[in-house]
Structure 1
């Protein structure tokens, strides 16, 4: 039986997975960061790591072969 985890569950699990802090860049170019949220993500390694994971999970959702075209269209529209 597959295990389904929510994004907050994954995020909390990621916070405690490493004892070594490594600099991580977010999924976007911090040189072009617009707005307070992107600037905050660029300044915080944990937020940058979570941004990368969210981007990865979003990509998996878009690539899901079982996702019907109307749902994929809705997902894309909701994220614009």
Structure 2
């Protein structure tokens, strides 16, 4: 029983300490003050943006990507 309680306490501490750090991409775009405001008042919105930043992808024309990255990089991605 003590082991289970210890594991739960450690897990809760890790979860709380991790949840106070924002994604650096969100912080760079919105600023830390706005993210803190969202965390307190609109946690669902903050969760939405975190989901989008983790799961989003960009669809681009192959010619544009080739011009930006070079043909060799495009072939590696494919």
TM over 0.5: no
The structure that has the greater radius of gyration is 2
**TM-score, normalized by length of structure 2?**
0.32
The higher-RCO structure (CA 8 Å, 6+ apart) is: 1
